[in-house]
Amino acid sequence: MTQFGTYVNTARRSLQEHDRRYSLRQVAKRIGVEPGYLSKIERGQVAPPSEAATVRLAKELDQDPDVLLALGGKVSSDLQEVIRKRPRLFAQLIRELRDAPDHAVLRIVREVRDGDW
Amino acid sequence: MITLEHDRLVFRFPEVHKDARCAIEFQRTLRIPDDGLDYPLPPGMGRFPLRHLDDYARRLPTDWLRRGGVLMPMHQAEAMWINFDCGGYPFAVKVATGKVCALTGETWMNHLNTDPQDYAVLPEQPWLDGYCVAQGIVRQFVAMPLGQGYTVEEQLTDEAEHGGLQLIAYPMKAERYEEMISMSATDAPTDYGVAYGPIKSEPMGLAPGGRMRQEIYDDDYGLDAWDQRHASRCFVTIANSVQWMALTGERPPTEPPTASAYASAGLPWFDYFGGDLTATAETDKLRGISSVAEIGATNGESPLPENESAEVDRVISLRRPGSNQVREMSADVPSTS
């Protein structure tokens, strides 16, 4: 199994324990792929699917699309677009934050502003 | 701190505990009939989009901008429910509409109260669909314009000032959480990993719609469990579809199917059982509110289109706390568009 396949298989089976709609066949149908293909993905016998299919799969399994894309060796198109607009700045930023602890990264994440109400 | 991630409000309290994290989202759903009958829980049909209010500062009325928070689109008479996901870290969350508490009908206060209990306890409370109008019964959150007398804010305060929806989240005290997980084998929380002119200042509010079966659970942890020194709050301004398009240039999501069309298609409704948990009783204030259909009938208006009763044949019983996916119906639903 690949890390991607294991992750998807674990998430789907966890949901299936409580809800039969998360059978391999039904999940495959809802995300628009063949059951056999999803089975191979989960067993790591084929490469992770396209970005669009991965995002559909993430939503179906209530997983973070960015996490699932990263496990599949991909970066979402919208993030690529963000980097392409200011490549030098974002490349520098990401490299500088590479080994920063989570709390340090969170300090520069945009917060929802609370106002006067 | 609150961040906006994939149309979810994510509350984090790293200064309290590394696991103190709670995500709150607003689910699109069908509007249950406002016909006096008690319905099961309707499905989730995906998250409402959320945007930072500040991104549209130049076009916003000053009173909207002053409140901060996020912007969310809803069609008039559209319904929604609130999904809570805190992993395993307990939270106390207060929910108000128009600065009136959805559980008690009291005006907004920045602290927790227990008599009556004015907050939901997570993860025991996975969802909140409406106003607690009787023990085990809520009236669905339905978007209506402010100024027409339908919203709970107008019914209980005689003012049409705030609208929108307000949230404040308090994490459990770190020492209580550590004590709790050391005494049990509870799973640790998972790591989550162009019209463009100024718009008019009438936001949407939330009003009570049809009745459904949902219990609001008593706080078994006790008031002392919550870290009231640390809290984060958010004002969710609700824009109607015209305002949303003018501000963001995006189309709002399409309106969900009617309850009767959904039920006729044999698609599932839901019930949730909290096991041994006890349900809070309603307050006098919320027991006395009128539904949108009732006010419309008094005024000679028909504010809820397609309000026919629904024959519910298929109900799925859920028992798993913290579930947010199993109530969603992303496929196979009849569409109105």
A81 with A67, same domain: the answer is no
> Which residues, 6 or more positions from A9, have their beta carbon under 8 angstroms from its beta carbon?
A1, A42, A43
Tokens of A90: 């974002």
CA distance A45 to chain B (A): 25
A47 with A19, same domain: the answer is yes
A/B interface, count of CB pairs below 8 Å = 78
Which residue does chain B place closest to A18, by CA atoms? B320
Whether A115 is in a domain gets the answer: no
A89 with A62, same domain: the answer is no
A15 with A51, same domain: the answer is yes
Q: What is the enclosing helix (H) or strand (E) of B318?
A: strand B315-318
Determine whether the interchain pair B2/A111 forms a contact, defined as Cβ–Cβ distance below 8 Å. Answer: yes
- Interatomic CA distance for residues A7 and A48, integer angstroms: 11
What CATH number did the domain enclosing A36 receive?
A: 1.10.260.40
A8 with A59, same domain: the answer is yes
DSSP secondary structure of B268-298: -EEEE--TTPPBPPPPHHHHTPPPHHHHHHH
CA distance A16 to chain B (A): 10
A62 with A22, same domain: the answer is yes
A50 with A25, same domain: the answer is yes
8 A C-beta contact, residue B92 and residue B23? no
In order along its 337 residues, chain B shows pLDDT tens digits of: 999 998 999 999 999 999 999 999 999 999 999 999 999 999 999 899 999 999 999 889 999 999 999 999 999 999 999 999 998 899 999 999 999 999 999 999 999 999 999 999 999 999 999 999 999 999 999 999 999 999 999 999 999 999 999 999 999 999 999 999 887 654 444 433 344 555 666 789 999 999 999 999 999 999 999 999 999 999 999 999 999 999 999 999 988 889 999 988 888 899 988 888 899 999 999 999 999 999 999 999 989 988 889 999 889 888 755 444 467 664 444 444 3
Q: Count of residues for chain A? A: 117
Which residue does chain A place closest to B108, by CA atoms? A117
Tokens of B164: 């929108």
Whether A15 is in a domain gets the answer: yes
A9 with A65, same domain: the answer is yes
Domain that holds residue A99: 77-108
Q: How many domains does chain A have?
A: 2
Provide the mean pLDDT of chain B: 89
Asked whether the whole model's pTM tops 0.90, one would answer no
Q: Which residues pair with A10 in a beta bridge?
A: none
Whether A114 is in a domain gets the answer: no
Measure CB to CB from residue B323 to each of A18, A30, A61 and give the nearest one. A18
Task: Give B158: exposed, middle or buried? Use CB within 10 Å, 0-12, 13-18, 19+.
Answer: exposed
Chain B residues lying within 8 Å of A113, measured CB to CB: 52-54, 68-69
A39 with A96, same domain: the answer is no
Q: What is the pLDDT of residue B326?
A: 62
Whether A45 is in a domain gets the answer: yes
- Interatomic CA distance for residues B185 and B44, integer angstroms: 31
Determine whether the interchain pair A114/B68 forms a contact, defined as Cβ–Cβ distance below 8 Å. Answer: yes
**Residue closest to B137 by CA, chosen among B271, B47, B256, B316:** B271
Instruction: Fill in the amino acid letter for A77.
Output: S
Radius of gyration of chain A from its Cα atoms, rounded to whole angstroms:
18
A60 with A9, same domain: the answer is yes
Measure CB to CB from residue B69 to each of A59, A62, A112 and give the nearest one. A112
A12 with A64, same domain: the answer is yes
Determine whether the interchain pair A60/B330 forms a contact, defined as Cβ–Cβ distance below 8 Å. Answer: yes
A45 with A15, same domain: the answer is yes
Determine whether the interchain pair B320/A18 forms a contact, defined as Cβ–Cβ distance below 8 Å. Answer: yes
Whether A24 is in a domain gets the answer: yes
- B190 to chain A, any CB pair closer than 8 A? The answer is no
